[in-house]
Amino acid sequence: MIDIAVKILQKNNYKITKQRKSMLEYLSHFQDQYVNVAAVDRYMHEIYPGMSHNTIYRNIKEFEEVGIIEQRTRDGVACVKYQCDFVHLHHHHFICKKCGKVQEVQMCPLDYFEEQLPGCQIDDHHFELYGTCADCIRLGKDYTESC
C-alpha cells in the first residue's frame, strides 16, 4: 500500500527511514477520510517517544510537497489524508459533513471559471463539495467529524 509513496520519496532524494515508513503506514489508513495532524503526531509519539514534533510536522509538509498526502484546514484545524489517486494528482473531492468520508470528483471546473475571467491568469485552485454522503443519508447519521 505504501510502495508508490516510498518510490516517490526515493525519486525526490528522501531517505527511507523506519519513522517515515511508520508514518506512511498510518496515513495509508486515511485514503478516504482526513485525519487531524495532531492525531498523526500522537500516533508517532506512541511508537517513537523521542521523535520531535518538528520532525513529524516537517515530514507531513514534505509528504504534501511531493504529492503523497493532501492537506486541508477546517475550522482552523490542520488535517491530512493519504493520496487517493497517485495517477491524477490534480483532482477534487466531495466531503461528507456527517462522517468525514471523502470521495474523489473527476471533473475539474477550472475551464468554467477561466471563461468568466478573460485576460486573467489563474495560478492555483482547490475545489471541494460538502454535503451528506449516500451512506449517512441511508443510515440517518447526524454526527459531525472534526476533519
The superfamily CATH assigns to domain 92-139 is Ferric-uptake regulator, C-terminal dimerisarion domain (3.30.1490.190)
133 marked as part of a ligand binding site:
yes
pLDDT at 34: 94
> pTM score, two decimals?
0.80
| Per-domain residue ranges of the chain | 3-82, 92-139
Distance CA 82, CA 60 (A): 11
Q: Is there a binding annotation on residue 91?
A: no
90 labeled part of a ligand binding site: yes
Q: Is 125 known to sit in a ligand binding site?
A: yes
Across the chain, mean pLDDT equals 90
Is the domain 3-82 a CATH 1.10.10.10 member? yes
pLDDT tens profile 108-119:
887 788 888 888
Between the alpha carbon of residue 71 and those of residues 16, 37, 111, 140, the distances in Å are 21, 9, 24, 28
Strand partners, 71: 80
Cα–Cα dist 65/132, whole Å: 30
Q: Using the predicted structure, report yes or no on whether residue 143 has a pLDDT greater than 80.
A: no
Instruction: Name the pLDDT band for 145 (thresholds 50, 70, 90).
Output: low
Q: What is the mean pLDDT of residues 88-112?
A: 85
Structure confidence by residue, pLDDT tens digits, 62-74: 999 999 999 998 8
